[in-house]
């Protein structure tokens, strides 16, 4: 039961990403033009790529926190939380600052176009 208590948040987070694209496809699939569905597909693909690309932060933090919990070191857990939040904030700000070139490059790589 202890393992389930630790594992369910990661299981839930891994399930939600594909559901995002599925729900978008279900909603946009009712629109009259296929361009909308293609746009949603490209967007979901780019989002999934970025999300899984930064999975190191989530999984790395999980492993290090598990080790700190095993050592029963609350100070290390708090430090890891702070370090991870700062890194996530910096990465998030960089993604926002460079969103336009990242979108352009992502569409070029996926052979899409803007507009």
Provide the mean pLDDT of the chain.
84
Of 54, 60, 46, the C-alpha closest to 111 is 46
| DSSP class of 111 | T
pLDDT computed for residue 101 by the predictor: 92
| DSSP class of 32 | S
Residue with more model confidence, 26 or 81: 81
pLDDT digits (tens, 9 = 90+) for 72-97: 888 999 999 999 999 989 999 999 99
């Amino acid at each position: 039961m202890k393992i389930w208590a630790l594992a369910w948040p990661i299981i839930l987070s891994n399930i939600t990403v594909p559901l995002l694209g599925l729900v978008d496809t279900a909603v946009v699939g009712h629109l009259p033009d296929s361009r909308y569905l293609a746009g949603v597909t490209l967007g979901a693909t780019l989002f999934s790529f970025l999300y899984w690309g930064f999975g190191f932060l989530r999984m790395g933090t999980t492993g290090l926190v598990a080790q700190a919990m095993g050592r029963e070191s609350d100070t290390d857990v708090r430090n890891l939380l702070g370090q991870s939040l700062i890194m996530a904030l910096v990465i998030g700000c960089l993604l926002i600052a460079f969103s336009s070139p990242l979108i352009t490059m992502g569409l070029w790589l996926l052979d899409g176009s803007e507009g």
